[in-house]
Structure 1
Amino acid sequence: MSLTDTAITKIRGMIVSGELRPGDRLPREADLADRLGLSRNSLREAVRALSLIRVLDVRQGDGTYVTSLEPSVLLEAMGFIVDLHRDDSLLQFFEVRRILESAAASLAAQSATEAQIADLAALLDDLGEQPSVDELLANDLEFHRRVAAVSGNEVLVSLIETVSSRTQRARIWRGLTENGAVRRTIAEHRAILDAIGAGRADLASAAMTMHVAGVESWLRTQAQLDDGDG
């Protein structure tokens, strides 16, 4: 283990043990390095690494603080990793999205309040009967975001938002090229909402699975056609 890795492990230990809590300011560099038995250079490298993954927040002229450690903050770094993936991994993102979103729909059906169900219904009603592809996509992204939020699981919300961003281009592509994609998406959203409103976790999960799998299946077909052309 490198000296920097050792420093990271020791700082992580302070956070895990509760010695450093969200929002706490780290001791002065010289004091912390001496206390942990580290060189100031190793400590500095560790702080830099932990700030990149949003565990620490380095404020110029003020000090270094532990972030809120909220899932949405810690998973921001994952979004960067997702963006670096190649197009040939897109189907894998859809597979993961299908699993995560079906779980979110199931949880939402178990915990949704009348106000939350009314909010989802109002969102779908705002779309109108013949939306453009851009309008549909914006509504689609917001619908999925709100369903995830209703699940009450913040980690799940952050994971879905991260993975969903990687599939956005394919969803636009399908909406522009596949006959009936807009109408089908609207109907599928209604089915998901109906299941959540009825408190049917099994139906909500199944409806969401079919919805996400529809885009996934279409994308697989396109990939096969492209391979055939080649």
Structure 2
Amino acid sequence: MAVTDEAIEKIKEMIVSGALRPGQRLPKEADLATDLGLSRNSLREAVKALSLMNILDVRQGDGTYVTSLESPLLLEALNFIVDFHRDDQVLEFLAVRRILEPAATALAAHRIGAEEVAALRELLGSAGPAEGIDKLIAADLEFHRRIAATTGNQVLCSLLETLSTPTMRARIWRGLTEPSAMERTLAEHAAILDALEAGDAEAARSWSTVHIANVERWLASVL
């Protein structure tokens, strides 16, 4: 194991074991290096790597702290990786989204309230075909984001948010080139929302699957 990797593992063990807790300041560099049996250079490299992963927060003039370790923060590193995806990988992102999002929508059917349903209806009503593709896509993203939020699962929300980014261009492309794509999208949204309002988890799951599969089918046909 490389020296830096060993240093990373030792700091990780301290966090996992509870010796270092979220928000806690790390001991002084010299003391921590001695305690862990590391050189100060390898410790610095480990701290640098862990700060890039949002596990540690280096504050100039103040010290180094363990971050909150909350899921949205830790998954920001995944957003960075996703930015480097190739266009031919978009179908793979859609395939993963087709697994996760219907499950989230089914879970939301058990938890969504009347006020949230009303707000979603208002959102859908504000983005018809006459409003243009940009507004429809923005409403589409917000629609799915709000549904995921009702699950109360931050990890699931963050993963779905990350998966939406690489598929956005494909959704815009579809809206501009496929006849009736905008109308079909709105109809699918309405069906998902009706199922959520009825508390019908399986119908919500099914319509969500159809909704994503239609984008996937279209993209596969044009690539």
TM range (shorter): over 0.9
How big is the shift at 1:131? 2.2
Question: What residue is the counterpart of 1:20 in the other structure?
Answer: 20
Deviation beyond 6 Å, 4+ runs, structure 1: none
How big is the shift at 1:130? 2.5
TM-score by length of structure 2 reads 0.97
The residue identity in structure 2 corresponding to 1:91 is L
Superposed CA deviations along residues 123-176 of structure 1, whole A, max 9, x for unmatched, are: 112224622001101100100111111111110100011111010000000000
Specify every segment of 5 or more residues in structure 2 that has no aligned partner in the other structure, as ranges: none
Question: What residue is the counterpart of 2:176 in the other structure?
Answer: 176
Structure 1 position 59 matched with structure 2 position 59? yes
Question: What residue is the counterpart of 2:127 in the other structure?
Answer: 127
Aligned residues: 223
Structure 1 position 84 matched with structure 2 position 84? yes
Question: What residue is the counterpart of 1:6 in the other structure?
Answer: 6
How big is the shift at 1:196? 1.0
SS of 2:179's equivalent in the other structure is coil
The residue identity in structure 1 corresponding to 2:87 is D
Superposed CA deviations along residues 31-84 of structure 1, whole A, max 9, x for unmatched, are: 111111111111111101101111111111111111111111000110111111
Superposed CA deviations along residues 191-229 of structure 1, whole A, max 9, x for unmatched, are: 111111111111111100000111100000101xxxxxx
TM-score by length of structure 1 reads 0.94
Specify every segment of 5 or more residues in structure 1 that has no aligned partner in the other structure, as ranges: 224-230
Question: What residue is the counterpart of 2:106 in the other structure?
Answer: 106
The residue identity in structure 2 corresponding to 1:32 is L
Question: What residue is the counterpart of 1:222 in the other structure?
Answer: 222
Cα distance in 1 for partners of 2:85, 2:207 equals 28
Give the aligned CA root-mean-square deviation in angstroms.
1.1
The residue identity in structure 2 corresponding to 1:102 is P
The alignment-based identity, stated in percent, is: 62
Question: What residue is the counterpart of 2:203 in the other structure?
Answer: 203
The residue identity in structure 1 corresponding to 2:68 is S
Question: What residue is the counterpart of 1:227 in the other structure?
Answer: none
The residue identity in structure 2 corresponding to 1:23 is G
Question: What residue is the counterpart of 1:228 in the other structure?
Answer: none
Question: What residue is the counterpart of 2:32 in the other structure?
Answer: 32
Cα distance in 2 for partners of 1:61, 1:99 equals 46
The residue identity in structure 2 corresponding to 1:206 is S
